[in-house]
Homo-oligomer: A and B are copies of this chain.
Amino acid sequence: MSRQAQTRPRVLIVGGGFAGLAAAKALAKAPVAVTVLDRRNHHVFQPLLYQVATAALSPADISAPIRSVVRDQDNCEVALAPVTGVDVANRRVLFEAGSVGYDYLVLAAGATHAYFGHDEWAGLAPGLKTLEDATEVRRRILLAFESAEYEGSAEARRAVLTFGIVGGGPTGVELAGAIKEIAGQTIPRDYKHIDTRTTRVVLFEAGPRILPPFPPELSARAQRDLERMGVEVRLNSAVTRITPDGIYTGEEFVPVRNVFWAAGVKASPLGASLGVPLDRAGRVIVGPDLTIPGHPEVFVTGDMAAATSADTGKPVPGVAQGGMQMGHYAGETIAREAAGRSTPDRRRAFSYNDKGTMAVIGQSKAVAQIGRLKFTGFIAWLVWGVIHIAFLIGFRNRLQVLFSWFWNWLLNARDARLITGDARLDLRVVRPDEYVTSDPPRR
């Protein structure tokens, strides 16, 4: 052990997302030595990932190097390292090539997509959790329009110009609205063989309404707004099979060439290494102080935790707010005890303060609930924008995103329309000879 570790408790925070960074910040003035471990060097503002996927923003606009975020925090260092497990008995975090000890551990490694036991869908229906996911979804959306330019038959063109989104939560709703907007307003004049305004966007929701955590009247309003924009909303439509040609919901088949996944999540597999009970989504069932049984030094926070709010007795939702509050609670609790102002047996229970929930549907259209207030339309959209800008990390990012939004609004632009990575089209549909010499340009 180092000199420092002998004098100050060592706190390891696994994950630089909302929960992990909130924990680190709550420890800023505590007499501890903090290390934030992440397998990536950047924090991602996940609520705006769909805007990277739809070419409205660049990856750098919604992310920040973790090192920069905690740069001025003298007691905190950062390590780029993939954690493979936890040895709870010996208080060590494990890596592929070694391990490191801790006095306190804050697990905040988040969640990834879950395909409900159908991992073979992953390649057919990418989800939206990382920057790489977002640029992959962007690549597929843009390539779909490119392919459509080539398709000979109207039927094939129709399939290529159909987008299916599985899951009617905020991400699914926002992605569906944004794709429809791009196709209908941003790019029609770029394509001279097809009318991108005929693009079909189908949103599949297994339950009886979209945006399930919202009040029913906001779900209904969101659905009406989406339908007015031309998005088809299919309720009670659990997806049973996905093939390269389309989506099955029970007996029914919808020919869809582009499928995106916004349905289930499962917690980071790190939780399983703790040897304590997990819920069905792989989340660690934590006590009132967000720790695991018998280990008051091991906090599990954010999307990895199945936590209950002490005041309401309700589960804490898997949203950014929940992660931030859990992380802050863990950090604050550790800070208090490290300073000798409290002990584990005197911890107050964690309560979630629900500050509201919101989802954007399209330009000037959103739904939001804040306390007892409900907003729709333009006002909800403004509220959504203000709050998302406020929670972005970094002043530069805020300016940048504001500028991009203003520009996109002004000119109906989506300027980050880059196909990077593999730009080859599916050769099944590429017939440049027919393409170039058949239909003359529309205009």
Contact = CB atoms under 8 A, between A and B. Distances in A.
Interface of A: 1-5, 10, 12, 33, 35, 37, 39-42, 58-61, 63-65, 67-68, 71-72, 74-75, 77-82, 95-101, 131-132, 135, 142-143, 146, 149-150, 187, 189-193, 394, 396-397, 399-400, 403, 407, 413, 415-421, 423-425, 427, 430-441, 443
Given A58-B59, A190-B68, A440-B2, A396 B413 contact: yes
Given A2-B438, A5-B437, A58-B59, A418 B42 contact: yes
Given A100-B436, A131-B420, 20 more contacts: A1-B437, A5-B437, A12-B436, A33-B440, A40-B423, A41-B417, A60-B415, A64-B415, A67-B191, A77-B436, A77-B441, A79-B436, A80-B146, A80-B425, A81-B432, A95-B430, A97-B432, A98-B431, A100-B437, A399-B403
Contacts of A37: 432
A149 B81 CA distance: 11
Nearest to A66: B190
A98 B2 contact: no
Given A146-B80, A441-B77, A432 B42 contact: no
Given A60-B416, A415-B396, A416-B60, A430 B97 contact: yes
Nearest to A55: B60
Contact of A421 (B96, B132, B434, B436): B132
A417 B78 CA distance: 15
Given A60-B58, A77-B192, A423-B41, A131 B418 contact: yes
Nearest to A411: B396
Q: State the copy count for this chain.
A: 2
Contact of A190 (B67, B189, B435, B436): B67
Given A63-B418, A396-B415, A431 B71 contact: no
Contact of A132 (B68, B95, B420): B420
B96 A436 contact: no
A31 to B, nearest CB: 14
Contacts of A2: 437-440
A286 B166 CA distance: 55
Given A60-B418, A419-B40, A433 B99 contact: yes
A417 B59 CA distance: 10
B189 A71 contact: yes
Contact of A440 (B3, B98, B396): B3
A365 to B, nearest CB: 24
Q: Which 3 A-B pairs have the closest CB atoms?
A: A98-B433, A67-B190, A60-B416
13 contacts: A4-B440, A12-B436, A42-B418, A58-B61, A80-B425, A82-B424, A96-B427, A98-B432, A98-B434, A99-B432, A396-B415, A397-B415, A399-B403
Contact of A433 (B67, B95, B416, B430): B95
Contacts of A142: 41
Contacts of A68: 190, 417
A97 B431 contact: yes
Contacts of A415: 60, 64, 394, 396-397
A437 to B, nearest CB: 5
